[in-house]
Structure 1
């Protein structure tokens, strides 16, 4: 069961050790999600399967991760996050390493599923530990580093796999074995340092909603919609900005690629700005609203006005930076709205909106481009962000009303 008490204000060096442990596991989680795609051309030749079938490996891993997060969140809240974090990280890593010995592609698919099961532990366990272990004065920076390490994992996976298989000439089996076994020392470090990872305090009131009623409350459903719509907008930009600029303004490929790079760099770096702000100021919703409104304006500008090639990357950099900076205050808002002792299920449920948004977005945006509606892409991105703000405002208002309601009787 979770520990009964959490430290009031841990020392800074202890906080950063915790952030380092959790962030390293989160890096691996995102790294493993993207380490298979660079091997598709090799697997297509070796196993004789189509790209559609190869895509199943990533799709299954992502789907299992998304579907497993909420059930794992219930277990994290009931039994504590630490054993699930250790077990999930080990399963995830050994599944990737095990692919090195796969005699055929169907074994790789099965291991992709087991890796997804391990990966489903990461978000609910990470947020439960960070929310209970980190001092409030550094909570924003802790969440920001958590997001940043995940983004770095995404960025590093194609680069490292390409380096190992192409530049260094290692076979794909050796490459997967090596990156999979990277998880073993990470797990060992978590086990050895587990004493500094604090589980959630038990709820001190009786009669408060628990379990499904919490997740089905208006507050959490609106936060879920906020995450979902934000993810849909982000995936729309990342996947189709280059094609949209080409169709709309005949933007050269190198300029369009640099524009997308500017967006990604801004979104990654902006996370740290949001963490700094969240630790110093309490007006999180105002900050999120202002930055999202700025991003909306810039996306509409890129979609409606033919900007010079020298200007486009800068506009995308600011738009991405604004959205990135809004992410950490958003996470802190969810943390404050989560009932005591239920952070695992809350973050497991709400963060599942991120992969779900990524799954449902590509087809409709692709259809717009296929049917000569490229002019709609960036306005639809803007509309999704506007809707996400309405959901965020509704969630915040409901959370404030709940906080002002009479408290249930203390638990005996």
Structure 2
């Protein structure tokens, strides 16, 4: 028994209880975020919004998360703040309350801004909790955490069909209850987090701080830039599918709003499975290999998607969602290993960057769709996964281990 306790204190045991709880809160948090694109078809009709205005709603949400996440992660790397987690979800609560009663476009933007603040706080601190509870199974632990988020995002089409189509914009009021539940659960996590930090402080003085050797800093910077570019390609493709492919199905194939949501649900649900399996697969086959597979494996299907009918689009969305999102948790762990000792900064960059680049993609793609039409934009987006060829230039897993050994 004493040996087991000692092993746990050294961080070798994977604490699945904590991982599943924080993964569940991630599901709650991201299901709330998924309300924003889910309500797009409703807002487009009720407020007469353009594609670009819809893109700016996503931009307001995701840019907030993108800018604040790395900043929160950088600060909490130096000074962890366990109770920042429930405070962040309290901001989300007020954001959803505002969205339910927003009388105009500008109040919608302010409301989603508050939801973005909650997300910016939750993700880097949630990733730190995962790192503390992961033991030696970093990939699996991050997958458990991230699959909660992807599962929450996959609920957006269901919410559109079951809540927003019959209830309209006011349906967002139900998600204040979800935010309140998340705050309560995060109080428990924050208490565990604080106890874990207190126990680590007693031994931290005896441990040397991990430093990246000066000769390798340039290689680390290049690797980080490549990783950012890969996240850019994945995020823009994800934005194209989740935000604009429903409109493509409506205009090109005459599908109803409710039917289009099935396609997005299939894509996101398959992506949640891919996210979960990607982590343990990267533990076995290497993180760089899974990152490369997630991009290049999806490229051929992404190219042909705009040319197929609504029947063949279903299996393509299923397979592509699984493949392209299999690297979602892997890039976070890879970045943490690339930047040892900077857990919050690395996860804030990768997750926050995914949000921010997706937001930028929503605005740019929306503007291009207004200018050139939706079909040419969807065809062009099919070539984004080919940027995955750059993954071969990333430092190998073995090299990362040598750098930190």
Query: TM-score interval w.r.t. the shorter chain?
Result: 0.7 to 0.9
Q: Which residue pairs with 2:271 in the alignment?
A: 267
For the structure 1 residues 183 and 106, does the alpha-carbon distance in structure 2 shift closer, same or farther, using more than 3 Å as the test? Answer: farther
Q: Which residue pairs with 1:283 in the alignment?
A: 286
User: Structure 1 CA distance, aligned partners of 2:375 and 2:301?
Assistant: 17
For the structure 1 residues 49 and 141, does the alpha-carbon distance in structure 2 shift closer, same or farther, using more than 3 Å as the test? Answer: same
List runs of 5+ in structure 2 lacking aligned partners. 1-7
For the structure 1 residues 121 and 170, does the alpha-carbon distance in structure 2 shift closer, same or farther, using more than 3 Å as the test? Answer: closer
For the structure 1 residues 59 and 283, does the alpha-carbon distance in structure 2 shift closer, same or farther, using more than 3 Å as the test? Answer: closer
8 Å Cα contact 1:123/1:351 also seen in 2: yes
For the structure 1 residues 374 and 65, does the alpha-carbon distance in structure 2 shift closer, same or farther, using more than 3 Å as the test? Answer: same
1:319 equivalenced with 2:306 (yes/no): no
User: Quick one: which of 252, 255, 265 aligns to 1:253?
Assistant: 255
List runs of 5+ in structure 1 lacking aligned partners. 408-412
Alpha-carbon distance, 1:344 to partner: 0.5
For the structure 1 residues 91 and 363, does the alpha-carbon distance in structure 2 shift closer, same or farther, using more than 3 Å as the test? Answer: closer
Of the two structures, which has the highest relative contact order with CA contacts closer than 8 Å and spacing of 6 or more? 2
Q: Which range moves more in the overlay, 329-338 or 164-173?
A: 164-173
Q: Which range moves more in the overlay, 322-331 or 125-134?
A: 322-331
Q: Which range moves more in the overlay, 65-74 or 331-340?
A: 331-340
Partner of 2:118, secondary structure, is helix
1:183 equivalenced with 2:182 (yes/no): yes
Alpha-carbon distance, 1:343 to partner: 1.0
Partner of 1:120, secondary structure, is helix
- Return the TM-score normalized by structure 1: 0.74
1:19 equivalenced with 2:19 (yes/no): yes
User: Quick one: which of 209, 216, 223 aligns to 1:219?
Assistant: 223
User: Structure 1 CA distance, aligned partners of 2:145 and 2:30?
Assistant: 11
User: Structure 2 CA distance, aligned partners of 1:369 and 1:95?
Assistant: 29
Describe the superposition over 1:136-186 as per-residue Cα deviations: whole angstroms up to 9, x where unpaired. Answer: 23x323222222211232233564587567768996585354344233322
Structure having the larger proportion of residues in helix: 2
For the structure 1 residues 403 and 242, does the alpha-carbon distance in structure 2 shift closer, same or farther, using more than 3 Å as the test? Answer: same
- Return the TM-score normalized by structure 2: 0.76
8 Å Cα contact 2:332/2:350 also seen in 1: no
Q: Which residue pairs with 1:410 in the alignment?
A: none
User: Structure 2 CA distance, aligned partners of 1:251 and 1:41?
Assistant: 17
User: Structure 1 CA distance, aligned partners of 2:20 and 2:364?
Assistant: 38
Question: CA RMSD of the aligned region, Å?
Answer: 4.3
Describe the superposition over 1:350-403 as per-residue Cα deviations: whole angstroms up to 9, x where unpaired. Answer: 322212222232455453685368467445432x2222340x333325x86676
Describe the superposition over 1:256-304 as per-residue Cα deviations: whole angstroms up to 9, x where unpaired. Answer: 776555433322222222233234x14232233234322112223445x
Alpha-carbon distance, 1:347 to partner: 1.5
1:204 equivalenced with 2:208 (yes/no): yes
